[in-house]
Chain A
Amino acid sequence: MSKVIGDVILSVQNISLRFGGVKALTDISFDVRDHEVRAIIGPNGAGKSSMLNCINGVYTPQEGSITFHGQSFDHMNSRQVAEMGIARTFQNLALFKGMSVIDNIMTGRNLKIRSNIFLQALRLGPAQREEEEHRSKVEHIIDFLEIQAFRKTPVGQLPYGLQKRVDLGRALAMEPQILLLDEPMAGMNMEEKQDMCRFILDVNDEFGTTIVLIEHDMGVVMDISDRVVVLDYGKKIGDGTPEEVRNNKEVISAYLGTSH
């Protein structure tokens, strides 16, 4: 299968983020091209999640800017980001524990729902049709992620691996252009990882969704990503194809320690 990687659609320039005296990110710049799978790797505490949080508008960086489709922003507003087509999963699964799988994924369709509160209360024609239409889309996602048997279960009762799929489903429901995945395979066994890889690659392949992926499993990263950014202690120490990064001396010493 061949895919065409397009132009740069998202770039971050000189992002610095501090929490009080702690420097989470220092002068980070990199870009993301359309349709590619971009991995962000680095030891624990390197600032990878913080970077995604900046892109998402959860954190506001003190310096730097983010450019999306030609528009530059000093800081992002979460809803704006969602409207612009960037969706995200969370490392610690920010699922809505009180709701069922269907409802969780339906919340991802929220931006696309047009009917107002009165129509919804009366559940007349347009509102009813919209509910069915979105339900249909959500069912496609449920089929894709193979979680049909659990659709009515409250997510709090599902095992961890399935919860991760629901998290992915919710992000997919937004029909995003860029999908930010924060350690989607954390805590999974080999089979679950294979399944998750398959889903991610399918999404990238079929819908052309650009993927930005934080991941610790080197095998996965080297296999599926087109380009890799390496962070360490909040600074960028590597940027390039998996081959280039694998042979980068700084990256090796950051991960494996220097040889004596």
Chain B
Amino acid sequence: MAFFLETLLGGLMAGMLYSLVALGFVLIFKASGVFNFAQGAMVLFGALAMARFSEWIPAWTGMNSLWLANVLAFAAAAVVMFIVAWAVERLVLRHLVNQEGATLLMATLGIAYFLEGLGQSLFGSNIYKIDIGMPKDPVFILDSLFPGGVLINKEDLYAALIAAAMVALLTVFFQKTSTGRALRAVADDHQAAQSIGIPLNRIWVIVWCVAGVVALVAGMIWGSKLGVQFSLATVALRALPVVILGGLTSVPGAIIGGLIIGVGEKLSEVYLGSYVGGGIEIWFAYVLALGFLLIRPQGLFGEKIIDRV
């Protein structure tokens, strides 16, 4: 039972990280109807930027406070993500305004490849460390219920807390600020939003900036856990089933979908994996998403998709 709980909790933590990446997808889709295949590349790009800046900034300025270097590196990386967002809107989105979904999807695939190449050219292609001072030792909880306690990785716990804080911040941003309101208006109806004077292009830049920061945070956490390397870009492919499950237009859906996928992957690997040769993590999420596509394509919380003649 304790082992089950451990697996469950481990799955929840992993799921939280998926949710972070999925959040980026949902944000962009909600505000512009574009499915951003480049989200994973953005995670990689952000992580690379942060990793290298955290090395370079102390080297350039000679400071030795790790904490300060990290904060500055984060800020610098965020600025880089803003530049990327602006460039994407200006050079790509603006020219593909009325194209159909498939074209935009393939354009974001192109952006993904471009960012992967650019990131590695600018920042290098070795494996880099991000050290944001997260404690890596495990902790045992619930000893009263289970002898010996249930093992949780402290790092995962902090990661989950950071992710939760990010979601809370985003919720406040969307609900309470005027920019957030404008974003919600655009997500609801582009034309109506334009007709009341909301500048669509600027909104899209803002959305991509926010998604960029979300990607950066996700990259920071994943990178701190796994090291920053090229395979980080494929994390987007892992998060795709999450948005299918949760619904492409739903922020809570991204969170809950991520948790379900995280838990599902871990549990299925442990309890089903041995029967079929192991390693089923790579397709479990996708087959689950496939099931949803056949029964309920809009996911748990998404809006129903209607096809008009």
Consider the complex of A and B and state whether they touch directly, i.e. have CB atoms less than 8 Å apart. yes
Minimum CB–CB distance from A69 to chain B (whole Å) comes to: 26
Residues in B neighbouring A92, C-beta threshold 8 A: 309
Residues in A neighbouring B309, C-beta threshold 8 A: 53, 58, 90, 92, 94
Query: How many A-B Cβ pairs are below 8 Å?
Result: 5
Point out residues on A near B: beta carbons under 8 Å.
53, 58, 90, 92, 94
In the complex, residue of chain B having the shortest beta-carbon distance to the beta carbon of A58 = B309
Residues in B neighbouring A94, C-beta threshold 8 A: 309
In the complex, residue of chain A having the shortest beta-carbon distance to the beta carbon of B308 = A92
In chain B, positions 262-309 with a C-beta closer than 8 Å to chain A are 309
In the complex, residue of chain B having the shortest beta-carbon distance to the beta carbon of A56 = B309
Minimum CB–CB distance from A196 to chain B (whole Å) comes to: 22
Summarize B's interface: helix, strand, loop or mixed. Answer: loop
The 5 closest A-B pairs by CB, nearest first: A58-B309, A94-B309, A90-B309, A53-B309, A92-B309
In chain B, positions 159-206 with a C-beta closer than 8 Å to chain A are none
Residues in B neighbouring A58, C-beta threshold 8 A: 309
Residues in B neighbouring A53, C-beta threshold 8 A: 309
CA distance A92 to B308 in the complex (A): 11
In the complex, residue of chain B having the shortest beta-carbon distance to the beta carbon of A59 = B309
CA distance A92 to B309 in the complex (A): 8
CA distance A94 to B309 in the complex (A): 8
| Binary CB contact string for chain B from 61 to 89 against chain A (1 if under 8 A, 0 otherwise) | 00000000000000000000000000000
Q: List 5 A-B contacts (CB under 8 A).
A: A53-B309, A58-B309, A90-B309, A92-B309, A94-B309
CA distance A90 to B309 in the complex (A): 9
CA distance A50 to B309 in the complex (A): 11
In the complex, residue of chain B having the shortest beta-carbon distance to the beta carbon of A90 = B309
In the complex, residue of chain B having the shortest beta-carbon distance to the beta carbon of A53 = B309
CA distance A58 to B307 in the complex (A): 11
CA distance A244 to B309 in the complex (A): 34
Minimum CB–CB distance from A92 to chain B (whole Å) comes to: 8
Minimum CB–CB distance from A156 to chain B (whole Å) comes to: 14
Minimum CB–CB distance from B93 to chain A (whole Å) comes to: 24
CA distance A13 to B309 in the complex (A): 25
Minimum CB–CB distance from A151 to chain B (whole Å) comes to: 27
In the complex, residue of chain A having the shortest beta-carbon distance to the beta carbon of B309 = A58
CA distance A138 to B303 in the complex (A): 43
Minimum CB–CB distance from B155 to chain A (whole Å) comes to: 49
CA distance A240 to B309 in the complex (A): 31
Minimum CB–CB distance from B99 to chain A (whole Å) comes to: 14
Minimum CB–CB distance from B98 to chain A (whole Å) comes to: 15
Residues in B neighbouring A90, C-beta threshold 8 A: 309
In chain B, positions 75-112 with a C-beta closer than 8 Å to chain A are none
CA distance A53 to B308 in the complex (A): 12
Minimum CB–CB distance from A171 to chain B (whole Å) comes to: 15
